[in-house]
């Protein structure tokens, strides 16, 4: 059966393995160099001693070397091997096995077991053999100390392995816990989003800024945007459904009444009313589509348009309407800006919406001005009225899709006009703003040059 490991468990195992390998490599290196250095030292000592004693032999013969060996042997130094051996391998003087188990021939430096008896069979000795006439000079040192060092290092090695395993497990657990917790937070936020809860965010470590934090920050920004879009979508859907109910209810009632009217003229009048209601619904739906589509309008729809000419055309279309409503309608173009690349239809629609709003809500003020202001950073197309205006605090609400102020609830409209203007301004990289005309409202589309 294949065992499936979680990512955190794999990370923990990996950290254990890494700790183990690095500790083993380190201890192994220490073991190797310690051992090599010690043997080198013994080789040097053995060679030097051998040469010195051979010189003593040459100058003083056997008595001199006997004395030299006697003074060289330090009591308590159990590792020193120093002896004169007869041709049969028996030690004549000094410290050596009873009988040598190695062949008697010139040996520079070798490591071997020197004796076969109990005391010497277990230990290895680094030694050198040189002839002294018919005798042989044996110099060397038992490797017990090195072996002891090696055992100590090996014990350290075992401890190291144990410690690495323990530390690895501990580190793994800590890592697992840390990584797991961070990943868990991210996974939970994503799961919640998948289930429709977009309000959940991933916690970040204060002052952290590690990869998890960066991931969390980006995820949070994405979730925030998504939440905003979803909220707007919900508002649009709710508002659309809500605002459609009234005209549809009126439509239904009027249809019912029309069906029951016997007089042909009266019925025709009633049916005419139905068409007006239907057109209102259609206009709302068309505008919602225009607003949502305005974000994806391609640039090749933009044509060179003179903003001043456009304003004059629209002004000419609306002047009679304003005059019929008893308003003083003025078109003010002080400085003609150069032609600009615009989506003529959408800009025209936005401007007519502005004028429509001014006629509907600002007519009481008696005047409406359509003005173009050529600024350094762009062109402002604005409609000014002298009506009640919109309080600064209410302006954001007025710009929202379906955002209608209480004061506007009594007049027809679905609160889409301003949202369309805003969308059109954004499409042109411009902005839509409302300002105080003291008294009245200035609604302004600013297009960058």
Partner 1 sequence: MSRKILIVEDDASTSAYLAKGLAEAGHAIEACADGRDGLFLASEGIFDLIIADRMLPGLDGLSMVSAIRAAGIATPVLILSALAAVDDRVDGLKAGADDYLCKPFSFAELSARIEALVRRSDRAATEPQKTKLSVGDLEIDLLARAVSRAGRSIPLGAREFNLLEFLARHAGQVVTRTMMLEKIWNYHFDPGSNVVDVHIGRLRRKLEDGFPTPILHTVRGAGYRLAVEG
Question: Which residues form the interface with partner 1 (CB under 8 A)?
Answer: 268-269, 271-272, 275, 278-279, 282-283, 286, 289-290, 293, 297, 301, 313, 316-318, 320-321, 324, 345-346, 348-349, 352-353, 356, 359
Q: Give the list of residues 6+ apart from residue 65 with CB closer than 8 angstroms, or none.
A: 53, 56, 57, 84, 93, 132, 137
Q: Look at the block and give the residue holding tokens 């600009």.
A: 340
User: What DSSP letter does each residue of 365-390 carry, written as one string?
Assistant: GSEEEEEEEE-SSEEEEEEEE-SS--
Q: Give the list of residues 6+ apart from residue 93 with CB closer than 8 angstroms, or none.
A: 65, 66, 69, 70, 83, 84
CA 296 centroid distance within chain: 29
SS3 content of the chain, % helix, strand, coil (to 5): 60, 20, 25
> Least distance in Å: CB of 203 to partner 1?
44
107 versus 278: smaller Cβ distance to partner 1: 278
250 versus 283: smaller Cβ distance to partner 1: 283
49 versus 349: smaller Cβ distance to partner 1: 349
294 versus 369: smaller Cβ distance to partner 1: 294
Q: Look at the block and give the residue holding tokens 């002298």.
A: 386
Q: Give the list of residues 6+ apart from residue 29 with CB closer than 8 angstroms, or none.
A: none
The helix/strand/coil state of 297 is coil
> Least distance in Å: CB of 253 to partner 1?
18
Question: Tokens standing for 351?
Answer: 């401007």
Characterize 43-72 residue by residue with b for buried, 16 or more Cβ atoms within 10 angstroms of its Cβ, and e for exposed. Answer: beebeebbeebbebbeeeeeeebbebbeeb
> Least distance in Å: CB of 312 to partner 1?
12
> Least distance in Å: CB of 207 to partner 1?
50
> Least distance in Å: CB of 228 to partner 1?
24
> Least distance in Å: CB of 238 to partner 1?
23
55 versus 325: smaller Cβ distance to partner 1: 325
**Structural contact between residues 85 and 138, judged by C-beta atoms closer than 8 angstroms:** yes
State the helix-helix crossing angle for 264-294 and 417-427, rounded to 10 degrees: 30
> Least distance in Å: CB of 250 to partner 1?
16
37 versus 268: smaller Cβ distance to partner 1: 268
40 versus 268: smaller Cβ distance to partner 1: 268
Question: Tokens standing for 190?
Answer: 């994503």
Cα separation of 185 and 174, whole Å?
Answer: 16
> Least distance in Å: CB of 208 to partner 1?
47
125 versus 357: smaller Cβ distance to partner 1: 357
214 versus 293: smaller Cβ distance to partner 1: 293
Question: Tokens standing for 324?
Answer: 């019929």
> Least distance in Å: CB of 412 to partner 1?
9
């Amino acid at each position: 059966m294949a065992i499936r490991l979680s990512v955190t468990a794999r990370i923990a195992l990996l950290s254990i393995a890494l700790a183990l390998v690095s500790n083993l490599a380190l201890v192994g290196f220490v073991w190797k160099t310690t051992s090599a250095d010690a043997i080198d030292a013994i080789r040097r000592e053995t060679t030097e001693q051998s040469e010195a004693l051979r010189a003593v032999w040459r100058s003083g013969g056997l008595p001199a070397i006997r004395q030299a060996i006697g003074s060289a042997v330090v009591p308590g130094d159990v590792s020193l091997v120093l002896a004169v051996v007869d041709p049969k391998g028996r030690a004549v003087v000094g410290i050596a096995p009873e009988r040598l188990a190695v062949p008697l021939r010139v040996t520079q430096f070798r490591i071997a077991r020197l004796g076969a008896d109990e005391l010497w069979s277990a230990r290895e000795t680094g030694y050198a053999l040189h002839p002294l006439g018919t005798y042989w000079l044996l110099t060397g040192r038992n490797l017990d100390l090195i072996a002891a060092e090696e055992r100590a290092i090996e014990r350290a090695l075992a401890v190291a392995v144990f410690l690495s395993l323990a530390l690895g497990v501990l580190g793994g657990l800590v890592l697992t816990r840390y990584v797991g917790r961070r990943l868990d937070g991210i996974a939970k936020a994503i799961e919640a989003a998948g289930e429709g809860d977009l309000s959940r965010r991933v916690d970040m470590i204060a002052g952290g800024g590690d990869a998890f934090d960066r991931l969390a920050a980006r995820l949070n920004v994405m979730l925030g945007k998504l939440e905003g879009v979803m909220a707007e979508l919900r508002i649009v859907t709710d508002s659309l459904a809500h605002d459609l109910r009234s005209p549809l209810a009126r439509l239904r009632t009027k249809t019912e009444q029309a069906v029951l009217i016997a007089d042909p003229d009266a019925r025709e009048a009633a049916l005419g009313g139905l068409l007006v209601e239907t057109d209102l619904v259609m206009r709302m739906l068309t505008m919602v589509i225009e607003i949502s589509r305005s974000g994806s309008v391609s640039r090749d729809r933009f044509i060179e348009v003179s903003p001043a000419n456009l304003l004059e055309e629209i002004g000419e279309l609306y002047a009679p309407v304003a005059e019929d409503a008893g308003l003083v309608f003025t078109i003010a173009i002080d400085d003609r800006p150069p032609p600009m690349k615009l989506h003529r239809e959408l800009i025209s629609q936005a401007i007519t919406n502005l004028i429509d709003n001014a006629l509907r809500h600002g007519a009481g003020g008696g005047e409406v001005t359509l003005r173009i202001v050529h600024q350094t950073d762009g062109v402002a197309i604005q409609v000014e009225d002298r009506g009640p205006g919109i309080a600064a605090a209410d302006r954001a609400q007025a710009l929202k899709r379906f955002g209608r102020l209480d004061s506007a609830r009594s007049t027809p409209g679905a609160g889409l006009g301003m949202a369309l203007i805003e969308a059109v301004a954004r499409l042109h990289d411009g902005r839509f703003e409302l300002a105080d005309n003291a008294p009245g409202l200035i609604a302004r589309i600013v297009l960058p040059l």
